[in-house]
A and B are shown apart, each in its own frame.
Chain A
Amino acid sequence: MIDGYVLVSAVTLASIYGLLAIGISIVWSSLGMLNMAFGFTFAASGYGAWYIAQVFPNSATAVLAGGILTGAIMGAATCAVAFIPLHDKPNFTVRALIATLAISLLGSQALLAVFGPRVKALPKIFGLRAFELTEDVVITADKLGSVASSIVLLLLVLAWMKTSRRGLEIRAMMQNPEGAALVGIGVRSTAFAVMAVTGALAGLAAVLLSQTYFVSPYSGLLPLIKGLIVALAGGLGSVSGALIAACVLGFTEAATSAVLGGQYVLITQFGLIIAILLVRPRGIGGLLDETRE
């Protein structure tokens, strides 16, 4: 039952979930905000990519760039509306949760009002070719493209966080906000960078998932939930934990679809996460922590 096909879908799903979860995880740990507007950013990026596809129907790069750029802009906009006015007020975590949820709901309605209820299809940006790995395992171009582009963007983001000055700022803020302020790191400008970069990740995920699903005003809801649970299972704030969780949950989803049927996917995924969190309340990332607080 668990054959090459399942593995291929597992890797594809894992790479897309990884993009979503790392976005949520980084925002949570550096800004202390659970970004519910991620779903809206996702849906809006789908429309952004779709709009670009109307203008440049033959350019895969343009469609990808359109999605990523829309995601970055939406992320920065969320930051301006929900983070900047609230971040130094009491009960910021709850307020930000509500504010971003409001953005998500309002945004979806706005997309519905502007683009109408009919779903849109993105062009197959990676073409329709298929490659035979073995006799019965065929990997299609869209899956291969999804995996490759998410890995490339993830590696770029991680390298940027590891080597650049901005990345050092973000990592400092993730680990000790007060210490960050004391070395002269401004929360606000860093927040814009964080939100734009994670928005871009959501934008890429949107374009990639839209290779399989349609773009619709509410298409961000399920990716938001998946991203949240993967980030939770990985241990909020842990990038490597989120990646491992994405692999585990991607595999669970692919295996469940193949063995039990697609309607059981959420049940097994949530069951697995509950099990992980019962055993490791801090998620998988808690296992990887090798330093003291």
Chain B
Amino acid sequence: MQQEILKVTGLSAGYGPLRVLHDLDFSIHPGERVGIVGLNGHGKSTLFRAIAGLTDWQSGSVLLNGVEVGGRRSQGPGRYTHRIVRRGLALMPQGDAIFHGLTVAEHLDSGAFTSQAWRNRRERRERILEIFPPLRQLLDVPVGRLSGGERRMVSLGRGLMTDARLYLVDEPSLGLAPKISKAMIEALMRINLDQGAMVIAEQNLSLLEGRVTRLLGMHGGKLKRGADLPLGHGAAMEI
């Protein structure tokens, strides 16, 4: 079997005295599209943030392509994030983390900061515009003037500019109209992962059902034992 892209063992993380994640263990393999479903406030975003090193503290092992990027850390949120990102992680966070004064084009360019990506950023930008055609007319507009759906496209597009092997997408449907949410998920499904993998966190199970290769349920900061739910019916019951 191929090496896991992400292997998490005994991951706990939180903010200040608050412990959000409790001893998580799971792996993601190449080519997978995994959905993590769970209610608001049960740790989906914190899980992504812990993998990116953005929580206040964390402990436990996070292997990204076999390299340890986790470990015990009690301060310095975000200090190592850029290194983890350069190792092949793309996190599209909830709330988009956009640069409101930069134009859409600059935004997409900023996604290509890692390694070789900067040199062929124009071709990469073209590729993103094919995935999100509405952005083509908006290239010179500051992102702060865009609508919520357009911003989401920019945020996702920025994440896709790199050669990431692991894409973590946090609530791509958040705050969007149902039709746009669906289009957004479909765009994510069309992306060629190559040897990479994608993990999508969603509250709305029906958006992911039938589209992802595997669903994980998250509740109270834990992925329950046997959390690898089968696709389709029955999945909702175990969450």
Residues of A at the B interface (CB closer than 8 Å) are 87-90, 165, 168-169, 171-172, 175-187, 290-293
Q: Is there an interface contact between A168 and B109, defined as CB atoms closer than 8 Å?
A: yes
Q: Is the CB–CB distance between A182 and B102 below 8 Å?
A: no
Supposing A88-B76, A89-B75, A168-B110 touch, asked if A176 and B82 sit within 8 A by C-beta, the answer is: no
**B127 in contact (CB, < 8 A):** no
Partner of A187, one of B82, B109, B114: B82
- Decide: B82 and A292 in contact? CB cutoff 8 A: no
Q: A184-B114, A291-B144, A292-B144 are in contact. Are A90 and B82 (CB under 8 A)?
A: no
A14 to B85 CA separation, bound complex (whole angstroms): 42
How many Å from the CB of B119 to the closest CB on chain A? 11
Q: How far is the CA of A167 from the CA of B85 in the complex (A)?
A: 20
In the complex, A159 Cα to B162 Cα: how many Å? Answer: 26
CB-CB under 8 A from B158, the residues of chain A are 183
Q: Contacts of B81 on A, CB cut-off 8 Å?
A: 181-182
Chain B hits for A89, CB < 8 A:
75-76
Indicate if the CB atoms of A90 and B75 lie closer than 8 Å.
yes
Report B's interface with A, CB cutoff 8 A.
52, 54, 75-79, 81-83, 85-86, 91, 93, 96-102, 106, 109-111, 113-114, 118, 142-145, 158-159, 162
Residues of A within 8 A of B52 (CB): 181-182
Contact of A169 among B77, B83, B113 (CB under 8 A): B113
On whether the beta carbons of A290 and B145 are closer than 8 Å, the reply is yes
With A171-B99, A291-B100, A292-B144 as contacts: A182 and B91 at CB distance below 8 Å: yes
Other CB < 8 Å A-B pairs besides A176-B100, A180-B82, A187-B79, 12 of them?
Answer: A175-B99, A176-B99, A178-B78, A178-B97, A180-B110, A181-B81, A182-B91, A183-B85, A184-B113, A291-B142, A291-B144, A291-B145
B96 proximity list for chain A (CB < 8 A): 179
A179 touching B76 in the complex, CB below 8 Å, given contacts A168-B110, A187-B82, A292-B145 = no
CA gap between A63 and B62 in the complex, in Å: 53
Q: List 10 A-B contacts (CB under 8 A).
A: A87-B79, A88-B75, A171-B106, A172-B102, A175-B100, A176-B97, A183-B110, A184-B162, A290-B144, A293-B144
Contact A182 B99 (CB under 8 A): no
Smallest CB-CB separation from B155: which chain A residue?
A179
Q: How far is the CA of A176 from the CA of B76 in the complex (A)?
A: 17
How many Å lie between the Cα of A182 and that of B102 in the bound state? 16
Known: A90-B75, A186-B82. A179 touches B99 (CB 8 A): yes
Which of A87, A89, A180, A291 has the largest count of B CB atoms less than 10 A from its CB? Answer: A291
Instruction: Report Cα–Cα, A183/B118, bound state, in Å.
Output: 12
Contact A172 B110 (CB under 8 A): yes
Contact present for A178 and B54 (CB under 8 Å): yes
Q: Which residue of A lies closest to B79 (CB)?
A: A88
The CA-CA distance from A183 to B98 in the complex, in Å, is 10
| B residues less than 8 Å from A290 (CB atoms) | 142, 144-145
Closest B-chain residue to A171, C-beta based? B102
- Find out whether the CB atom of A182 lies under 8 angstroms from the CB atom of B85: yes
Given contacts A171-B101, A175-B99, A290-B142, contact A183 B111 (CB under 8 A): yes
Q: Which residues of B contact A186 (CB under 8 A)?
A: 82-83
Which 4 pairs, one residue from A and one from B, show the smallest C-beta to C-beta distance?
A: A291-B144, A179-B97, A88-B76, A181-B81
A89-B76, A187-B82 as given contacts; A291 in contact with B101, CB under 8 Å: yes
Contact present for B76 and A183 (CB under 8 Å): no
Taking the closest CB of chain B, its distance from the CB of A23, in whole angstroms, is 19
Q: Which residues of A contact B144 (CB under 8 A)?
A: 290-293
Contacts of A87 in B (CB 8 A): 79
